[in-house]
Every structure is written in structure tokens, then in C-alpha cells.
């Protein structure tokens, strides 16, 4: 093969570089090194006989040649994805397909186990890969094919992402069942006098979580913060062995209450509800296996069945 031969992988990297305008950012999204992306860019420049991207100030700008290539590249990659997609029919009983889902820490506990059980019932060869959130944008990871779906609350997701609402989850508070002031904790004043476990927000946290953090920071005296932890699961464990109060999504609290001997009660503060949806990229929308998987998730986790004849907004099909 010629030294300047390029593959679809190289073209996907070029498309990403044209989108983000940064070798460093592209390397982060692809979970690879900057020199690796730079080497691919050098190969692409040689192949097309053009710089493709040139540095202007702190960013890289596409050349006229690269701009001319952008649309044909997208069409080529879309066609390639369609050719690799599942055939017209999908039989879960005989399939050995692995479905991958981006989920939050809460989703790992709340959504993954019942989803695994469902796949086991539907087809012995079906497999699931749970992909944790990281600092990279969910939309870019779905577009790159790193996962089939994302499950969670992403209100800032790009409008071109396909999505379907599954359910809304309120926040509740938890303490150990032997808490000495358990009977008074639904009173706002008593609640605020307790020491609290605060879950710190991050770039991967959802909007409702950030509002929760802001609410507690504005209402609690600094000495009422017992500890700050990185996750809701950790918050529940700390609450189970101290007198501090944890506040977490209701479905997670219900899931952990019996195991950790926790008392669950309504949080006496006006807190937001978490809108849980499934998200996917247009390139897999018509894939029959993907359609089956989305329908399975909707059946498992939807909040309630629609009334007879009622259309479901943003339906996965």
C-alpha cells in the first residue's frame, strides 16, 4: 500500500478537527495523544496536498480546500455508517450485539441492572457496556460512535440530538434510621440546623444537580456542611453511619434505603426534579437493532403508559 493511503479512521479525525478546530481538543475527545492526532493530520495534508488547517491566533482555521471537503466527508461517513448498520430485521434471540450506554453514577445503579436483566431474558448473546461520563461532551461521543445511547439529565444537549423523555425523579433526603431527631427533619428550620452531606458539582453534573448545590450553599450556614463528597452514592453511605443528612435522587434513595438502613423523607426545600431522557445520534436512528434497544429502554423506564391513541413526544421509533 502507498504511504499516503488513508482510511475512514483518518477521515473521521479530519471531520472532528474541522469541527473543533484544535488538535488538543480532538485528542481529548478521541481519548488519544496530541502527537497521534498531529501525525494523522500530517498524513492527511500529504494525501490532499493542502495544509487543511492553519493556525490563526490561538485556534486553527480550515483552508478553502478543507471547507470544500467538509460536506463530502460527512456524506461519506454517513454512508459508511449506514452500510455497517444492522440489516432490515433484528432478532435479539440470535444476536450477539453489544450495546453501549453512557450513564451517570446514579444510572450505573438505577438503570444498568434492570437493563442487563432485560437483555438476558431477550437474548443470551446480547451484551451491555456501561460507559461512564467524563469531561468530554456527550454529543461528540455519540457522534463518534463511542456509545449507542446516553441515559440521564442533559438539558443542554445539542438540539440536533435525538431524545426521548423517560421519567422525572425528585430529590429526597436520607438519614440513618436511628437518627435522634428523625421526627423533626421535615420541618425546614430543623432540617437546616442539621449537618449536611453536600455532593459537589462537576462539569459532568446535570442542571438540576447544580441548582441543588446552589440551594444548599445559599440556605446553609457554613458550619452546617458536615462533608463534601463527589457522588450521591457516597453521600448515602456517609449518612448511614453518621448523623448527617444526605439529599439525593428519590429512585436512588429507594434503591439504597433497605441495604443501608436509611430513613427517607421529603426534603423541606423547593428543589428541582431531574428529567431523565435517552439520547442518540441521527446516524443510528434507523438502525433496526438500535430501534429495538431504544424501545426496550423506553418500556423498562418510562414513567407511565400514554393514553390510548396518544402520541409519545420524541418517540424512539
Report the CATH number that the domain containing residue 26 is assigned in CATH. Answer: 1.10.10.10
Q: Which three cell numbers stand for residue 225?
A: 456542611
Both 177 and 267 in a single domain? yes
For β-strands 59-62 and 53-56, DSSP reports them as antiparallel
Of 50, 84, 118, the one marking the end of a domain is: 84
Both 268 and 280 in a single domain? no
Q: What is the pLDDT of residue 84?
A: 63
Residue 120 forms part of a structural domain: yes
Residue 50 forms part of a structural domain: yes
CA gap 21, 166 in Å, rounded? 35
198 in Cβ contact with 238 (< 8 Å)? no
CA gap 284, 146 in Å, rounded? 12
DSSP structure string for 228-286: EES-HHHHHHHHHTSS-EEEEEHHHHHHHHHHHTEEEEE-SS--PPEEEEEEE-GGGTT
Residue 309 forms part of a structural domain: no
Domain count, the chain: 3
- Tally of helices (H runs) and strands (E runs) in the chain: 12, 12
Both 28 and 157 in a single domain? no
CA gap 66, 59 in Å, rounded? 15
Q: What is the pLDDT of residue 208?
A: 66
Q: Give the DSSP H/E element, type plus range, for residue 17.
A: helix 8-20
Of 30, 60, 84, the one marking the end of a domain is: 84
CA gap 17, 22 in Å, rounded? 6
Both 179 and 257 in a single domain? yes
Residue 313 forms part of a structural domain: no
Both 107 and 160 in a single domain? yes
Residue 9 CB partners (closer than 8 Å, separation 6+): none
Both 179 and 252 in a single domain? yes
Which CATH number fits the domain that encloses residue 142?
A: 3.40.190.10
Q: What is the pLDDT of residue 88?
A: 55
Both 163 and 286 in a single domain? yes
Q: What is the pLDDT of residue 1?
A: 37
Both 13 and 56 in a single domain? yes
Q: What is the pLDDT of residue 74?
A: 86
Both 183 and 48 in a single domain? no
Give the Å distances, CA to CA, from 183 to 175, 186, 191, 259: 11, 7, 10, 21
Residue 92 forms part of a structural domain: no
Both 197 and 55 in a single domain? no
Of 58, 84, 110, the one marking the end of a domain is: 84
Q: What is the pLDDT of residue 307?
A: 42
Residue 311 forms part of a structural domain: no
Both 176 and 257 in a single domain? yes
Q: What is the pLDDT of residue 134?
A: 74
Provide the domain limits for residue 176: 171-272
Residue 143 CB partners (closer than 8 Å, separation 6+): 281, 283
Both 177 and 37 in a single domain? no
CA gap 185, 188 in Å, rounded? 7
Q: Which three cell numbers stand for residue 307?
A: 393514553
pLDDT per 10-residue tile (average), the chain, 317 residues: 70 90 88 91 92 88 92 84 63 93 90 94 93 80 90 84 93 96 95 95 64 88 93 95 96 94 96 91 91 95 57 40
Q: Give the DSSP H/E element, type plus range, for residue 98.
A: strand 98-103
298 in Cβ contact with 167 (< 8 Å)? no
Residue 315 forms part of a structural domain: no
Residue 176 forms part of a structural domain: yes
Amino acid at each position: 500500500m502507498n504511504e499516503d493511503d488513508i482510511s475512514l479512521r483518518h477521515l473521521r479525525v479530519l471531520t472532528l478537527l474541522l469541527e473543533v478546530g484544535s488538535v488538543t481538543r480532538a485528542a481529548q475527545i478521541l481519548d488519544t495523544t496530541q502527537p497521534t492526532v498531529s501525525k494523522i493530520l500530517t498524513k492527511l495534508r500529504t494525501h490532499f496536498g493542502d495544509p487543511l488547517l492553519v493556525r490563526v491566533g490561538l485556534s486553527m482555521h480550515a483552508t478553502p480546500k478543507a471547507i470544500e471537503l467538509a460536506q463530502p466527508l460527512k456524506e461519506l461517513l454517513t454512508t459508511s455508517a449506514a452500510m455497517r448498520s444492522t440489516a432490515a430485521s433484528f432478532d435479539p434471540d440470535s444476536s450477539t450485539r453489544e450495546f453501549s450506554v453512557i450513564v451517570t453514577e446514579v444510572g450505573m445503579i438505577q438503570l444498568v441492572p434492570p437493563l442487563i436483566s432485560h437483555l438476558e431474558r431477550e437474548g443470551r448473546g446480547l451484551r451491555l457496556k456501561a460507559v461512564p461520563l467524563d469531561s468530554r461532551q456527550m454529543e461528540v461521543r455519540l457522534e463518534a460512535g463511542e456509545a449507542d445511547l446516553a441515559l440521564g439529565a442533559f438539558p443542554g444537549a445539542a438540539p440536533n440530538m435525538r431524545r426521548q423523555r423517560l421519567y422525572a425523579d425528585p430529590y429526597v433526603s436520607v438519614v440513618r434510621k436511628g437518627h435522634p431527631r428523625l421526627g423533626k427533619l421535615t420541618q425546614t428550620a430543623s432540617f437546616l440546623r442539621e449537618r449536611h452531606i453536600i455532593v459537589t458539582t462537576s462539569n459532568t453534573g446535570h442542571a438540576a444537580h447544580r441548582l441543588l448545590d446552589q440551594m444548599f450553599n445559599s440556605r446553609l450556614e457554613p458550619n452546617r456542611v458536615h462533608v463534601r463528597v463527589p457522588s450521591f452514592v457516597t453521600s448515602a453511605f456517609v449518612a448511614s453511619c453518621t448523623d448527617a443528612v444526605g439529599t439525593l435522587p428519590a429512585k436512588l434513595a429507594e434503591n439504597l434505603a433497605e441495604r443501608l438502613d436509611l430513613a427517607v423523607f421529603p426534603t423541606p426545600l423547593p428543589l428541582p426534579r431531574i428529567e431523565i431522557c435517552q439520547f442518540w445520534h441521527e446516524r443510528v436512528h434507523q438502525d433496526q437493532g438500535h430501534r429495538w434497544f431504544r424501545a426496550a429502554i423506553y418500556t423498562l423506564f418510562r414513567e407511565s403508559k400514554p393514553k390510548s391513541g396518544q402520541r409519545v413526544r420524541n418517540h424512539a421509533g
